Amino acid sequence: MHLSVFPPAALIGDPTRAALLIALIDGRAQPASALAYAASVSPQVASNQLAQLVRGGLLTVEQEGRHRYYRLASAQVAVALESLSSLRPNVRRPQQPADQRLCFARSCYDHLAGRLGVAVVDALQTQGYLLAPAALPKVFEVTDEGRRWFAEFGIALDAHRPSRRPLARRCLDWTERRHHLAGFLGERMLLRLQARRWLQANPTDRVLRLTQTGHRGLRDSLGLSLP
């Protein structure tokens, strides 16, 4: 194994630094004070740990007036965090109402995660729009019928996609221990669900709320029935 793997792993392995990173997994920038609160540490401790994460290349920082705003350095950092979270043994499912909402539907960097994200993938596979080939464990295949459905849904699969970004990637959900949809298609799917007002983002955290319109839309378009 290449030795460059170990410094990032050591940074993520610290509980405080892991909490700071997880608080940024939705891709938004946050000030140190908000991150200190999220990690339940003092501002001094948070500042020290954030500096280490910046030096280690896991975070970037931007100065705005008197405040410094931190964000994950790349989508790859978010992927690593979600994957490592799924490997923790005996993970306790959150019990507080806010945490239950996080388990149901949340943003994972730029795509939909949680029980709803997994349910949407299940429905897309049931309808024959996505395939999960065993020979390609990291990606979904989009069928011809799926391409037509996504186009009708308002997602042009090949429009403006970065050449190096996967079209449809399997991302292991840390609460459900199953895959949700990431990559270019995952990003566009979340944007489309929000544009249709099927999902609404919470401005203070990663929680996504499924609206009544979303309930009906997912039922009518994908046959997805949710509580």
pLDDT digits (tens, 9 = 90+) for 6-18: 477 778 878 888 8
Candidates 201, 165, 210, 200; CA nearest to 185 is: 165
Pair 164, 156: CB distance under 8 Å = no
Question: Where residue 4 falls among pLDDT bands split at 50, 70, 90?
Answer: very low
Tokens of 35: 């991150």
Average pLDDT of the segment spanning 55-74 = 85
Angle at 134 between CA 132 and CA 140, to 5 degrees: 25
Distances, alpha carbon 227 to alpha carbons 47, 169, 200, 212, in Å: 42, 27, 17, 11
* 3-state DSSP assignment of residue 17: helix
- The CATH number, out of the four listed (3.30.1490.390, 1.10.10.10, 3.40.190.100, 3.30.450.80), of the domain defined by the range 3-73: 1.10.10.10
The CATH 1.10.10.10 portion of the chain extends over: 3-73
Question: Where residue 125 falls among pLDDT bands split at 50, 70, 90?
Answer: very high
Angle at 44 between CA 41 and CA 46, to 5 degrees: 50
Q: Tell me, what amino acid is at 14?
A: D
Check residue 117 and give its pLDDT: 96
Check residue 140 and give its pLDDT: 96
Check residue 173 and give its pLDDT: 84
* 3-state DSSP assignment of residue 21: helix
Q: Is the dihedral of CA 170, 171, 176, 177 positive or negative?
A: positive
Tokens of 32: 């140190």
pLDDT digits (tens, 9 = 90+) for 180-227: 999 999 999 999 999 999 999 987 778 899 999 999 999 999 999 876
